[in-house]
Structure 1
Amino acid sequence: MRKKLTPKTIEALPPAKGKRYEVWDELLPGFIVRVSSKGRKTWHLCARINKRRRRIKIGDYPILTLGEAREKARSIMRAAQLGRYVEKAETEDESGASTLGELVPQFIEFYAKPRNKDWKGSERILLKFSSLYSRPIDQIKRAEVVRVIDTILANGTPYRANRALAAIKKLFAWCLDRGTIEVNPTAALKLPTKEVARDRVLNDRELVVCWKAAEAEGFPFDKFTHMLILTGQRRGEVAGMRWSEIDFERAMWTIPAQRTKNGTQHTVPLAPHAVQILQAVPRFLNSDLVFTTSGKTPISGFGRHKARLDAEVGASDWRFHDIRRTVATNMAMMRVPPHVIEAILNHKTGIVSGVAAVYNRHAYLEEKREALEQWAGRIAELISKEASSRDASANSASLTNKGMVVSLPTGTS
């Protein structure tokens, strides 16, 4: 990271949570303070000497104050530019400064966590490059990164290879911005696999079977799956639903910004059927979580739940996220306007943008309610039709078993 180094800043720097980290001075280019996991602070200078980039250890804090260390750094830079600097034992090759393994925790802490809610996913995907963790960051070659990506591809996971490359490219770009490296070896490196946007939509039969199969699961997955279908919201948002987010009087669910993918507070009107489902959910004492089996954490085990649904649906090529696309597709068929569908899904696609997006933040509430109630009615209709069809089949089978065959008059359809 870069900061204007002051005595107060230096004093307040916390010990590293993982490996050491560095803070680069905004006033004097190349002047750095390095902080270890034990809180030790050392002064360094990165400078080009005799046409080679070097890291020079200046001394330790507080033995050398900020002013003294900065002045010593200036003297070294001045001598180097005049060709008078003589390299000493304290000079380190810049390549030995920080390894990839040392920089990954810093990248996660200072870059990924503040910007990405799925920073743990980034942390996991960067483990794919653990074979390079011992390598100095500026010695890692483009070919080495490509070899790791090729290994992931060879394991039959092309999309994971894309995610891994995207993660390491961000890390190298972050290092370049901080001045840790001079050249990004992954610059202009293309994704190994062209991704095809998913277009899977559950048909009416699959939707009904999914609903009924979830019903047979019992709490909490029955009501969780039903709310997923009725609201069209993301799996994590529904699974993490809080009682404090629900206004039963107004039949409204407000998802706070910190729980939405795009960081924008989202209001979801609840159809009467959705309200009935939530009112039937058992509550854990002193717990704000709606879907939980412990009262402490939201439900998990979606993979096992999905496998059981697959067996009933008769297909495994769908994901929970495809339910959102199914809801949107059906709403479009019901002639719900695109901007209302986008508002229900909490998408930012440019249909409403600029100043209008700011002033329309709380708009379309009634339109969203009408669309979601219409959708809930459609679900009820599909389930009712399926039940009637099942009853009719059962009656027909019963009559046949009794030897009663009913013939329709000629011409009757």
Structure 2
Amino acid sequence: MKQTLTTKSIDALKPAEGKRYEVRDIKTPGLQLRVSNTGAKIFCLSIRVEGQRRRIRIGPYPIVSLADARRRATEIARDIELGMFGHEQTQQDATAPTLSETISLFIDRYAKPNTKDWKGSRSILGKFASLGDTPIDMIRRKDVVAVLDGIVERGTPTRANRALAAFKKLMNWCIDRGDIETSPVASLRPPTREVARDRVLEGAEIAALWKAADAEGFPFAHFVHMLMLTGQRRGEVAAMRWSEIDLDDAIWTLPAQRSKNGRLHIVPLTDAMVAILKSLPRFIGSDFVFTTTGVTPISGFGRLKKRLDDALPEATEDWRFHDFRRTASTGMAKVGVLPHVIDAVTNHKSGIVSGVAATYNRYSYLEEKRDALARWGETVSTLVKSNDGKLATAQR
């Protein structure tokens, strides 16, 4: 778009819808005003230097006025014509990288090499897509707050907290690299006060979820059943490999690189778990136990939960897949399993067993863990078979 820029016309320019746009000034050749989707406006000069088209950043409006931008553009054009403009000043598009570009770099150069859940980081930073075309040094605190407010309004306040934490990490990484001098979200408090979740599924809910999962068929029915019986983390079960399983010795060895806490974990397999695994079809050339493609493990847990929700009684209180883990721990405690054995089953760092003892005890507790999971499996079986879904008196 080309027009004679005026202060009034610049103030009237609306934020970009999607990708940023440029307005070229008719009065000063090469002078452009770039407008982002947050409404930020930056003056640049598009000009040839030694035969190559360059874009030279002049500065943000209104800190740099229209008169200042025209004056500076004329000075740069004159210096280039006289050969007085230094090469260090001719960086193409010298504006800072956009947020989208910065997130891509952050994922490739920091998250992938240093974190296991880099895909999760990429996903949650995607919540800031509306700021994607904004230069990283032009993002304002209120821009971030607006995104967080939107997440809260959609009914997921804890996700807003996670989004802020991820954005803070990104900004701190940018500071370390020298991309920005200060973080726009420094000292910004999480938008929601979190309360530790203590949801434990009732007996009737366990039975209802088990039966609702039955209707899913392969692979989701088997995945949900294994998740309930093992008490392990959702991602660990979903990405289970055949190479990790020894059906003869009834053991699942979860390697340290796949474990959330970075420790190798031995999970004894009960008869019920072995029966589930033996019933599963295998994809030729694939190591994944739960897969629909043979190339990647299952996903779409949000859609799966919605389908299960639709099959449950309307009065069912909100639940999450992670509640299976807490429910299994509570259920094992109810039938007399000792706390340190429960920690060993769930690969949880509680401080009860730590240090060198923890390294060796993960093996020495193998039979205790097998017994604990067998007792929990019997409890689940009883609940599923019962008509009212309540624990028998002897199991309380």
TM-score, scaled relative to structure 1: 0.66
DSSP-derived class of the 1:90 partner: helix
Q: Give yes or no for contact 2:206–2:384 (8 Å, CA) kept in 1.
A: no
Structure 1 residue 176 displacement after superposition: 1.7
Match of 2:75 in 1: none
Structure 1 residue 304 displacement after superposition: 4.0
Match of 1:410 in 2: none
Q: Give yes or no for contact 2:344–2:362 (8 Å, CA) kept in 1.
A: no
Structure 1 residue 97 displacement after superposition: 4.1
Match of 1:90 in 2: 88
- The one-letter amino acid paired with 2:240 is M
Q: Give yes or no for contact 1:99–1:137 (8 Å, CA) kept in 2.
A: yes
Rounded to whole Å, the distance in 2 between the matches of 1:209 and 1:147 is: 40
- Aligned pairs (5 A) from 1:90-169: 90-91=88-89, 96-169=95-168
DSSP-derived class of the 2:266 partner: strand
1:326-347 deviations in Å (ceiling 9; x for gaps): 1011111112111211121112
Mark the CA change 1:167 to 1:95 in structure 2 (over 3 Å): closer, same or farther.
farther
1:69-118 deviations in Å (ceiling 9; x for gaps): xxxxxxxxxxxxxxxxx995734899834343332211111111123333
Find out whether 1:345 has 2:343 as its counterpart.
no
Q: What are the ranges of 5 or more consecutive residues in structure 1 without an aligned counterpart?
A: 1-85, 390-413
Q: Give yes or no for contact 1:95–1:138 (8 Å, CA) kept in 2.
A: no
Structure 1 residue 268 displacement after superposition: 0.4
Mark the CA change 1:332 to 1:388 in structure 2 (over 3 Å): closer, same or farther.
closer
Match of 1:292 in 2: 291
DSSP-derived class of the 2:116 partner: coil
Find out whether 1:177 has 2:208 as its counterpart.
no
Match of 2:355 in 1: 354
- Aligned pairs (5 A) from 1:117-266: 117-266=116-265
Mark the CA change 1:87 to 1:148 in structure 2 (over 3 Å): closer, same or farther.
farther
Give identity over the alignment, percent: 59
Rounded to whole Å, the distance in 1 between the matches of 2:105 and 2:285 is: 37
- Cα RMSD for the two superposed structures: 2.8
The size of the alignment, in residue pairs, is 304
Match of 1:322 in 2: 323
Mark the CA change 1:176 to 1:377 in structure 2 (over 3 Å): closer, same or farther.
same
Report 1 or 2 for greater relative contact order, CA contacts < 8 Å, sequence distance ≥ 6.
2
Rounded to whole Å, the distance in 1 between the matches of 2:132 and 2:218 is: 45
Match of 1:373 in 2: 374
Rounded to whole Å, the distance in 2 between the matches of 1:135 and 1:301 is: 31
Mark the CA change 1:360 to 1:97 in structure 2 (over 3 Å): closer, same or farther.
same
Q: Give yes or no for contact 2:266–2:362 (8 Å, CA) kept in 1.
A: no
- Aligned pairs (5 A) from 1:305-316: 305-314=304-313, 315=316
- The one-letter amino acid paired with 1:360 is N
Structure 1 residue 263 displacement after superposition: 2.4
DSSP-derived class of the 1:253 partner: strand
Q: Give yes or no for contact 2:292–2:298 (8 Å, CA) kept in 1.
A: yes
1:180-215 deviations in Å (ceiling 9; x for gaps): 332223222110111122222111111122222323
1:118-145 deviations in Å (ceiling 9; x for gaps): 3223223323334444444334333333
Rounded to whole Å, the distance in 1 between the matches of 2:199 and 2:125 is: 30
DSSP-derived class of the 2:386 partner: helix
Structure 1 residue 387 displacement after superposition: 9.0
Rounded to whole Å, the distance in 2 between the matches of 1:148 and 1:206 is: 36
Structure 1 residue 361 displacement after superposition: 4.1
Find out whether 1:269 has 2:268 as its counterpart.
yes
Q: Give yes or no for contact 1:237–1:260 (8 Å, CA) kept in 2.
A: yes
Mark the CA change 1:319 to 1:388 in structure 2 (over 3 Å): closer, same or farther.
closer
Match of 2:47 in 1: none
